Copies of this chain bind each other. A is one copy, B any other.
Amino acid sequence: MKAQIHVTLKREVLDPQGDAVRRALGTLGLGEVKDVRVGKLIEIELATDDRAEAEAQLTRMCEKLLANPVMEDFRVELP
Interface residues of A (CB under 8 A from B): 6-8, 18, 21, 24-25, 28, 30-48, 57-58, 60-61, 64-66
Question: Which residue in B41, B45, B60, B66 is a CB contact (below 8 Å) of A6?
Answer: B41
Say how many copies of this protein the assembly contains: 2
B37/A43 in contact, CB under 8 A: yes
For A39, list chain B residues within 8 Å (CB): 40-43
B32/A46 in contact, CB under 8 A: yes
A43/B36 in contact, CB under 8 A: yes
Which of A7, A25, A57, A64 is most buried by chain B, counting CB atoms within 10 A of its CB?
A25
For A25, list chain B residues within 8 Å (CB): 61, 65
A41/B38 in contact, CB under 8 A: yes
